[in-house]
Structures are given as structure tokens and as C-alpha cells.
Structure 1
Amino acid sequence: MTTTIFVSILLLFPLLSLSINPVPALFDTDFDDMADPCILEHDNTLYIYNTGDQTNFYAYSAPIIPGVPSSEFDFKRSSKPVFSATDEDKSCPISTVVPGLGKGTLTWAPDVRYDETSGKFYMYFSICLQLYVASSSSPLGPFTSPVLLQTLAIDPMLFQDDDGSIYLYYAKIDLLNMYTGEESVYVRRMIDYSTIDESVDAKKLLTPDSNWEFPRSSLIAPRGINEGPWMYKRDDIYYLMYSGAGADTKYYNLGYATSDSPDGEFIKSETNPISDPQSPPSVGIFGPGHHAIWEDGEGKPWVIYHQQSDDGTGWRRFLAIDELVVDEDGELQVVFTRDD
């Protein structure tokens, strides 16, 4: 999704007409913060999972209606959490030591996948900066028996390539340098949906190296951030998308890098970040980031992501959906929109 090059006027208007942001059926007033979404399609139904109260995950599901924009689907929240942190998890010391990170158990950023081989659904997520995977027989949970996959890591995303190989992408936290150390994107090879291949070392794929990836709030001093990875394969090109800067700021944004293999050498786009949401500030689009991609029945890709509610600092985010455009040169473009 390279820069939000506000493409051409002919392209801009169709995109604006296809989205309603915040997405009405995903604007859940029971939560002050809705962020870090993932999306799963199963049996002609879309399921969206996201960070909410930082202790529980809910599912928002809607039947897919051909010809209707996904931002207009009638998403319904599950009647109870599909996953809940345990009492033991609730003693997360990091949230006390570094209060700017969030609250509760720091239960963040779920990614849900269906494994046709086992017939199970797998949820990848972090609690207190540790990555876990839990499983369920239903996309509505409950997801149980969490297994630790990786320490000091957040924002997992599972990708299965066309040859069946499986990869887990995530952001690695430098806890010893929490205020100044970098946050980078890594990948691990997987044996199956719940087992890391320990014979292959973790590989760093992206590291913060551009000015736009460094702005941070006053709660946590400026440090480089690459997080929220999402792998998107199209025409044999691997697009590793990510978010940069502080997630609690208006500067949060999307970037991407490309490679010819899922764990190869990735080259960041020269047009990163995808947008400059502060110019002009009257547009009112702040901190667009941490996204997932879904392709509709016509093969058109859509980005579901979060925006900040205003240009202040904090955790007041909502979910949005906009179209991802791949131009003739293979460059990614998104026009972020807001209607309220």
C-alpha cells in the first residue's frame, strides 16, 4: 500500500463512495478503544477480531452480501468473549512499570486462521508482551489451551504460502531498552499452525530506519517502531506491510516492503508512508494503521485498520475499511477516508 498518493481524481471518487468510516456496525460504544483488527472469511461469513478492553477478545460477524461494500455489512458482536485472559494473566507487571503501553493484561492484536487439515481455528495474540496461540472448533470460540510461541513479542500474523509452507510474522520488543530501543519485524518458520520450527532461527525482516517511523508520545520517548506486520502476496510479489511510529499518536501510519520470497530480503518502498494524515489537518484522518487485508468475491482487496478519534495522544481508536489499490507498476495505494 505505498503512499496514499491521493491518486487521480477519477480514482479518488469511486474509493470514497465505497466506504463509510467509522464502520457503523463496528463502532462499539461499549469500548473506548477499538484497534488492531484481523479478518477471517469462513462459510460465506466475515469475522473481525480486534483489541478492545485489553483483557478479552470478541468476534464481530456478518454474512457476505455480493455487491454490498464490506463497510456496510451488518456485523454483530458475539454474545460473550471468544477469548479471555485468566486471573494469572491479569498480573501483568509491564502495564504498571510502563503505564503508557495500555491497561489490564495488555491482551492485544488477535489474528485468526482456519486450518483445513485439522479442521480447527487458531488465534494468535499477545498477553503482557508474550505471543500465544489458542485453538477452537468454531470461529466464535471459545479459544482455549493457549501455548506460548515467543517471548517479548506482539502483533502476530500467520501466513501460509501456495506451497503449504507456514510463516509467523511478529514485532519483537526490546524490553531492556523500552524507552529507546527499536521495535522490528521478525519471521519464524512454522511446522504446523501451532508449532514453531525450532531448527530455523528467527529472522529480522524490517527495522525502523526512516524519520516517519520514530515519532512517539511523551509517555514513551521517541524510538523507532515497525510493528503490525501483514503479508500480502499478489502476482508472485510478497508485500510485507507494517505500521510505523507510535500507535497512540496521530503520526501512526502504514508502510510496506517487497521481496520475491516470504522470508527473503525485503526492500521498503521509497513512497512510504502510505499517507500524510496531518496534511491538511482539516481532513481529520489521524494515525491510520495496524491493518488486515481481505479480498472480496471479485478479487478486490480491502484494508481494515484503525484510526485515531482525534489528533491527541492516547488510545481512542475506531475501525475503518478502505480499498487497497495495486497499480500497474505493482505499487500499493490507499485513500484513507472518514465520514463523521
Structure 2
Amino acid sequence: MTYQNPVISIKGLDHGDPAVLRYNGKYYLYHTGPREIRVYVSADLIYWEAAGIALHASDDPNHWAQIDLWAPEIIHENGTFYMYVTGAVKNEAGFGNDEIRRIGVAKSNNPTGPFTLAKEPLTDEWSIDAHPFKDDDGSYYLFYNVRNSFTRGPNDVIGTGNVVDKMTDLENLSGNPTMVVAPEHLWEGNKEHSFFWNEGPFVLKKDGIYYQMYSAGFFGDDTYGVYYATSTTPMGKNAMEDKSWKKWNGGQPILKTNDACHGPGHHVVVKGPNGVDDYIVYHGYEPDENIGERRVRVGRFKWEDAHIWLEPPVKEALPLPNPPSMDGRLIKETTELNVKLAKETFPAFHFETNICFTDTDLGELPFLSYEVTEQEKVVWFFDQQKQVISAELNGKRKMDDFAYTLPRNYDLSAYHFINVRKEETRIHFYLDHVLVMDVPVPFKETGTMRFINNGESQYYQQQGTILTRL
């Protein structure tokens, strides 16, 4: 099975700055719009269906987001969906005032919206392209784009650059932005060298190193492309004069214009349907169209040791993203899921599910296990009264090693992402993308993941369950 790019292409509509949320086994895609943010839904990253309008600009003449809703990026935390988006105020002609652009947040209890804009923006200076990044310890940083005296390009020409600030919570910044990257080379601007850009940040972490991918060049033509910089810290200590981040290979691109796509850039990286493979979702111009409308494209992302490789745009058909070994995303009953899971016994695997509790006034109850035999197994528990998640290895409890206290105000009635990754001798347990437990496996035989309640006592529900052999 194959697909061809672009994966979303609607004539008369610009699809710039696409962002993807992966939630409960589905994908939700959003992109820039003049006064509304559209949303699309997919099961495989390739075939998308329109799902309406997620956010409307404000009609309040005093609001910060009256027009130009740019570069939305969405996260889900503790039952709430947060959209970080740029907005502008209208000038007298009814267009966006380019001197008054701000980043703000909008919230919803549904990924398709409607999202409600905050009354005040997050930032107090010209800013666009917000990217919320969750670190290993669960803390959040906001990477975003600014235009000031620190972001000027070659020959002191006007330009934009990316900064980072610590989030005190998901609706507030610390107010101490630190420099990440700014334009340094002539190829990071337009062809006239009259404006320069480093923008569109997206951050990953691998082996203790932070990778900030960004776009540079003019977003309106074939000079645009994707680059990256690295650092051992998300935020340096020298504010806007910080030099912690270093551009890869002196500032060379890893994705650029070719005969299949012009101006590829402003992207996100997302896991494929198997929960393991990585993909880049980005925009670009179709060379044969010769119009100013960006289309949504999907390509493979791979790590080559410590280097990022991105699949170049092609006109030919590409293989569809790999499915999971066991796809239970459409199965709601745990009894049926356990039957399918029992057939999947691998020495190393990726398992994921999303769980919410229908009764949140219970004590400690098991909900998930990895079983080799009745005696050789790992069982995970939620203690809803004490707000603790813990594990039992072969019938024995080791609370110091296998227990994690949930964050304050943790809402167990909301869906939370759980990922179990088994290697040959260890099982890593992630909750909402944070590693909270690392369990040694003293048995060599392969076992089976299993939901404990088995449909007998529905004190929790699951969605989006998959298992993939590693």
C-alpha cells in the first residue's frame, strides 16, 4: 500500500504551518488560517477528513487575536486541550497589524474544539510560532519566535529568531526568554537579503541532548527549508545573549527545495500508527501549481546516531506508515483486547493505551500486567485515594523503587497516556510521556500484556490500545 504527497490539498485554501496532535489512537491536524483554525482527523497520518472549525478569531475590537491565527500547536494535559496560537489586531484597512502580533492560548475539552481564547496573550512583544516542549521531568518550556535587536541577520538586517522560556503553568510564562537561534547566513533570508528568518521551532530530546529543529529562509518561496541546532540544556543562563545552542554543520539544511516540493518547512514530528516510527508533517508549495498556497506533506524521520535525517520530497508513491503488530484502537472491551494481546508475545515491544477511571473514589486497584506465568509477572496499580501509581514484581512490592506520586490536581476521570516499553531485561513505564518507573525483568521468557479487570469490573476505560514488536 502506498500514498502520494501532498496528503491535504484543497484548492483555494492555504495549509501553512501544520501541527498534529496524536490522541486516543487518532490524529488531529490544524493549520494557519486568516480568522479560523480548521481541524482534520486521521487514523494513519495519510487519509484525512475535515472535522470543522476548532477556533474562531475574536470579534472583540480590543482583543489580541482578531485576525491572522498563525501556527497553532496543541497539547493535551489532564483532560484539557491547550492550543498555542499567534493572533494579531486589525489595522484600519482590516488586515493584521504586523507590529502587534502576540502568542496566546486557547482551551477546549475536545480536540476538535470549540477552543476558547484567553483574554490576554502569553507574550508582551512581537511573537509567533509557539511550540510547547515537555521535558523528561514533566516540566514545560515554550519555544517561540521573536523579532528584536537580538535577532537581526547578516549585515545587521532585520530578522527573526527563536527563543525559549520556562512555563510556570500551561497558561503562563516566567517572562525570562533565552536566545536559541538567530539568522547568521545569507541563505537564511530572502533572495534580496532584505529580511532573515529562523522560525518554526520544534524540539526533541535524545540521549540527553536537546534538538531544536527550525525553518529558515523566506516562507513565501523556494529559499525555505528545515535545519536544527543542539544543546545540553533547554535554557541557557545568559538570557538573550546566550550561546548554548549550536547549529548543526554550521547552519546547513536537512530538508530543502527540490523538483518535487518548493519551500518545505514549518513542521512537527509525530509517531506513526505503530507508536514507534517517526514522521515529519510539514508544508510546501507544489511546483506545478505556481500559486501561493501551501500543501500538507508527510515524510519519514530517522535518527542516524546523533544526526537527524529527513526524507526528501518525491513525486513518486511512498509506502504507507507501518501499522502496529496488534491494532486495538477500535476495540473498547478489555476482554476482546486481552484475547488479541495473548497472541502477541515478543521479547521486546512497545505497548500503549489511554486510560480514564469511571469511579474515582476507589482505593488501590490493579489495572494492567505483564505476565509470563502466574508467578512471574509485573502488575501495575492505581491508588486513587493516595494518588499513587505502583508496581508489583512476582507478587512482591518495592514501594521505593516502583511507586510514583501523581502530580497535584491529577484528574483520574480524564484519559491519560500510558506507554509500556519492554526491552530484554527491563520494562519502562511512561505516564503522559514521562518515565515514572523502570522495572527489571528477572525472567527471560516472553510474556503477554493484559488488562486486569478483563471486563468484569468496569472501574476504568481504555482507548487507542496498540502493541508493536521492536
Normalization by structure 1: what TM-score? 0.78
Q: Secondary structure at the match of 1:35?
A: coil
Higher RCO (CA-CA < 8 Å; seq separation 6+): 1
Which of residues 245, 248, 252 in structure 2 aligns to 1:272?
252
| Distance apart, 1:180 and its partner CA | 4.0
Q: Which residue of 1 is the match for residue 9 of structure 2?
A: 27
Indicate how the Cα distance of structure 1 residues 18 and 298 shifts in structure 2: closer, same or farther if over 3 A, else same: farther
Tell me whether 1:307 sits opposite 2:284 in the alignment: yes
Residue of structure 1 aligned with 2:72, choices 110, 115, 129: 110
Instruction: Note the 1:1-340 alignment, pairs <5 A.
Output: 20-23=4-7, 26-29=8-11, 31-52=12-33, 54-64=34-44, 70-71=45-46, 74-79=47-52, 81-88=53-60, 105-116=67-78, 119-128=79-88, 129-146=101-118, 147-150=120-123, 151-174=125-148, 180-198=157-175, 201-216=176-191, 222-264=194-236, 265-270=244-249, 272-278=252-258, 283-296=259-272, 297-310=274-287, 315-328=292-305, 330-339=306-315
Structure 2: which amino acid aligns with 1:337?
P
Letter in 1 for 2:313: T
SS at match of 2:187: helix
- Specify the SS of the correspondent of 2:59: coil
Q: Which amino acid aligns with 2:159?
A: E
AA aligned to 1:212 is W
**How far apart, in 1, do the equivalents of 2:51 and 2:255 lie?**
33
1:210-233: CA deviation from partner (whole Å, max 9, x where unpaired): 2221225x7xx6222100000112
Greater strand proportion: 2
Post-superposition CA distance 1:177-217 (Å, at most 9, x none): 9994120101111011111124xx1111101012221225x
Are 1:90 and 1:105, in contact at CA under 8 Å, matched by a contact in 2?
no
* Greater per-residue helix proportion: 1
Q: Aligned AA for 1:136?
A: S
Deviation of 1:313 after TM superposition, in Å, equals 8.3
Deviates more, 1:312-321 or 1:138-147: 312-321
Q: How much does 1:63 deviate?
A: 2.5
When residues 215 and 18 of structure 1 are mapped into structure 2, their CA distance, relative to the original with a 3 A threshold, is farther
Cα distance in 1 for residues equivalent to 2:43 and 2:261: 28
User: How far does residue 28 in structure 1 lie from its aligned partner after superposition?
Assistant: 2.6
Give the drift of 1:260: 1.5
Q: Distance in 2 between matches of 1:275 and 1:233?
A: 19
- Aligned equivalent of 2:434: none
Gap change, CA 1:246 and 1:233, over 3 Å in 2: same
Structure 2, unpaired ranges of 5+? 89-100, 237-243, 317-470
| 8 Å Cα contact 2:28/2:39 also seen in 1 | yes
Deviation at 1:155, TM superposition (A): 0.4
1:252/1:287 contact within 8 Å kept: yes
Q: Whole-Å Cα distance in 2 between the matches of residues 250 and 308 of structure 1? A: 8
Query: Deviation of residue 321 (structure 1)?
Result: 0.3
Change (3 A) 1:227 1:312: farther
Cα deviations by residue, 1:254-307 (Å, 9 ceiling, x for unpaired): 0000112222411100162114424xxxx2321000000002234211000001
Secondary structure of the residue aligned to 1:225 is strand
Give 1:92 shift: 9.1
Counterpart residue identity of residue 106, structure 2? A
CA RMSD of aligned residues (A): 2.8
Q: Describe the superposition over 1:102-151 as per-residue Cα deviations: whole angstroms up to 9, x where unpaired.
A: xx9221100000012xx100000101221110100110111103240113
C-alpha separation between the residues in 2 aligned to 1:288 and 1:166?
28
Cα separation, partners in 2 of 1:312 and 1:18, compared to 1, 3 Å: closer
Specify the SS of the correspondent of 1:290.
Answer: strand
Where 1:212 maps in the other structure, the secondary structure is helix
Q: Matched residues, percent identical?
A: 27
Change (3 A) 1:314 1:170: farther
SS of aligned partner of 2:17: strand
CA contact (8 A) 1:22 1:339 kept: no
Q: Which residue of 1 aligns with 2:463?
A: none
* Bigger Rg, structure 1 or 2: 2
Give the TM-score normalised by the residue count of structure 2. Answer: 0.57
Q: Which amino acid in structure 2 is aligned with residue 110 of structure 1?
A: P
Distance in 2 (CA, whole Å) between partners of 1:44 and 1:188 is 31
Provide structure 1 residue ranges, at least 5 long, that are not aligned to the other structure.
1-16, 65-69, 94-103
Between Structure 1 and Structure 2, how many residues are aligned? 290
